[in-house]
């Protein structure tokens, strides 16, 4: 399956979710992430700030700030993406994609875990929006990569390319996938 086909299918599946379903699923994902050792032990987490079609991470950012972690979020500059450290007092502006970015702040090179958005996934292979920002940013970095997605974004048989950076773990509202396989997300409640 081409990346374009994977994006089309996954986006259509997300579009069928109600706002309430997205909010509930985002809560399950954040609860699971807050229990993952790699995230809990991270001194400097790099966490995306998403759009309404992605799992919300604002609670996760707030939790990490409350735990006095050195939280970094993305800021795009040309074709590159930077990890910029934020505080509870950081000001934000909306970029051309409708994503919040910090105003000011300093770039950080040594984040130890990255929470990454995606459009579609097949196991630990991810398809992003197509700009390659995360692939370029993550290439060659020693950072634990956690993708987050709604379970309905799964597709089968994604064609990957040499420059695609794979994930170390993927978390949805229903399951957690890593190099050892997958297990149910203990925060998933099937009655939703």
User: pLDDT tens digits, the chain, 192 residues: what are they?
Assistant: 899 999 999 999 999 999 999 999 999 999 999 999 999 999 999 999 988 899 999 999 999 999 999 999 999 988 899 999 999 999 999 998 889 999 988 899 899 999 999 999 999 999 998 888 999 999 889 999 999 999 999 999 998 887 888 899 999 999 999 988 888 877 666 554
Q: DSSP character for 151?
A: G
pLDDT (0 to 100) of residue 50? 85
pLDDT (0 to 100) of residue 103? 93
pLDDT (0 to 100) of residue 187? 67
| E strand or H helix at 125 | strand 125-127
In the block, tokens 């994930």 appear at: 167
pLDDT (0 to 100) of residue 105? 86
**Structural domains in the chain?**
3-184 (3.40.50.10420)
Structural contact between residues 148 and 170, judged by C-beta atoms closer than 8 angstroms = yes
SS3 129: coil
pLDDT (0 to 100) of residue 93? 95
Residue closest to 73 by CA, chosen among 96, 95, 52, 40: 95
Residues near 186 by beta carbon (within 8 Å), at least 6 away in sequence: 32, 35
CA 154 to chain centre: 14
**CA 39 – CA 112 distance, rounded (Å):** 9
pLDDT (0 to 100) of residue 181? 83
SS3 115: strand
pLDDT (0 to 100) of residue 190? 56
Structural contact between residues 74 and 49, judged by C-beta atoms closer than 8 angstroms = yes
**CA 154 – CA 137 distance, rounded (Å):** 24
pLDDT (0 to 100) of residue 74? 96
């Amino acid at each position: 399956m081409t990346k374009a086909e994977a994006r089309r299918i996954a986006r259509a599946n997300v579009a069928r979710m109600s706002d309430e379903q997205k909010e509930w699923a985002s809560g399950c994902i954040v609860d699971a992430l807050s229990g993952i050792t790699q995230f809990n032990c991270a001194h400097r987490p790099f966490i995306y700030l998403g759009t309404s079609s992605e799992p919300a991470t604002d609670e996760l950012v707030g939790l990490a700030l409350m735990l006095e972690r050195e939280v970094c979020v993305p800021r795009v500059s040309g074709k590159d993406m930077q990890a910029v450290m934020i505080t509870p007092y950081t000001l934000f502006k909306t970029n051309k994609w409708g994503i919040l970015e910090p105003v000011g702040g300093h770039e950080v090179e040594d984040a130890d875990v990255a929470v990454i958005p995606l459009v579609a996934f097949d196991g630990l292979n991810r398809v992003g929006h197509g700009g390659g920002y995360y692939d370029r940013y993550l290439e060659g970095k020693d950072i634990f990569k956690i993708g987050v997605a709604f379970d309905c974004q799964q597709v089968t048989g994604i064609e990957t390319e040499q420059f695609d950076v794979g994930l170390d773990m993927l978390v949805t509202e229903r399951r957690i996938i890593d190099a050892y396989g997958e297990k149910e997300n203990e925060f998933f409640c099937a009655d939703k």
